[in-house]
Copies of this chain bind each other. A is one copy, B any other.
Amino acid sequence: MIYLDYAATTPMCEPALTALQKLSSDIYANSRSLHDGGEMANRILDYSREQLAHSIGGQANGLYFTSGGSESNWLAIYSLLLGLPKGKRHFVTTTVEHPSIISTAEYVKQIGFEVSFVAPDKNGLITSEALLNKLRPDTGLVSIQHANSETGVIQPLAELSCELKERGILLHTDAVQTFGKLPINILQLGVDAISFASHKIYGPKGIGAVYIRPDVFWKPVFPHTSHEKGFRPGTVNVPGAGAFAAAAEWIIKRQDQQSQKYEHLRKRLVCDVKEQKLSLQPALSNSTAKILPHIFGCFFPPYEGQYVMLESNRKGICLSTGTACSAEKQEPSQALTSLGYSKEKARQFIRISFGYETTDADIASLLQVLKQLQKNKKGAAAIARRS
């Protein structure tokens, strides 16, 4: 199986597997228990918290463990909204967010917050102008993804955060897709809160985190919660947290080297597509936006993405038609229709995403499949003409 769906989720790296195995065997007490067993678990938790917080330029006391990216987004946004001063009831996000943010926006609407959505420009970017247009005197919080999971477009957070800071508006970012892939420093980005997930960085599933600047006020969603300083209820998954921290350390050490590899694979793909005269078209090919090198969002007309995905799968290649969190849905991705693509065109979308184990040979195999598809199409057209 050639796996080209690393943006959906990743296999675990050795250090994370080892940490998970070891901690699952040895450290089992509840980290909130006050005896030595609990104390041991709590020490692992503190260490993991520190490691992760430091990896984004933060402090341990701002980091809260969650069960994953979707929950991180929900808890971060909701807790920050609850902490806003009276009169700040307006939340702004974008039309290209992960389904968990769109869902959170709908949820907070139901409980009395007002929500506005900013659309990206034709480059896939959220511009200051578009953002400022949506701000109101009662806007308290904005959430803008660090990069899109389907197109890979990286948002200019440092620029946008300046505008928000001037106006006293908080900024949360969903960095699930960028953590471990891009250098992240919360001070440089100017964000107040950030979400990330372990399973996108070769760590275990079922664990994630939120970082909130310690001087930012938030309120617990769940009354009387004692775990994670009230941020999230439930026994903390200490082995998961330790393995998450191990994965983060592992991936960050290899960040530059891997980025270069992904750039190379990307160039190779683009080059070979041209050489082999394949109709594969990168989404946002003329965009001025910076794009995550491991995500290659594209179209292979005239085929629907679903068909290309299934045909590739028949040949042992795993790719996707977009975020797995909205797989099986009938509607094409909002991240694509927001860019001005028609629903029909958006249905042609496929996402190829590289990872630690991707090789040149994998790209060659993929192109072989696409070539065959294109050839079959031409053959079918010729037969149709003859008959």
Contacts and interface: CB of A to CB of B under 8 A. Distances in A.
Interface of A: 1, 3, 5, 8-12, 17, 20-21, 24-25, 28-30, 32-38, 67-71, 74, 99-100, 102-104, 106-107, 111, 197, 199, 204-207, 221-227, 233-240, 306, 309-310, 312-313, 316-321, 324-329
Given A5-B29, A235-B324, 7 more contacts: A8-B30, A12-B24, A68-B234, A103-B223, A205-B239, A205-B240, A234-B325
B67 A199 contact: no
B24 A325 contact: no
Contacts of A313: 34-36
A234 to B, nearest CB: 4
A25 to B, nearest CB: 6
Contacts of A70: 233-235
Contacts of A319: 35
A233 B37 contact: no
Given A35-B313, A225-B103, A29 B318 contact: yes
Contacts of A37: 1, 3, 5, 318
Contacts of A12: 24-25, 28
Count this chain's copies in the assembly. Answer: 2
Contact of A67 (B8, B21, B67, B318): B67
Contacts of A204: 24, 237, 239-240
B36 A234 contact: no
A316 to B, nearest CB: 7
B102 A206 contact: no
A141 to B, nearest CB: 18
A207 B36 CA distance: 24
Contact of A69 (B1, B28, B74, B234): B234
12 contacts: A9-B33, A33-B318, A34-B309, A34-B320, A35-B319, A36-B316, A74-B233, A103-B233, A106-B224, A205-B236, A206-B240, A226-B327
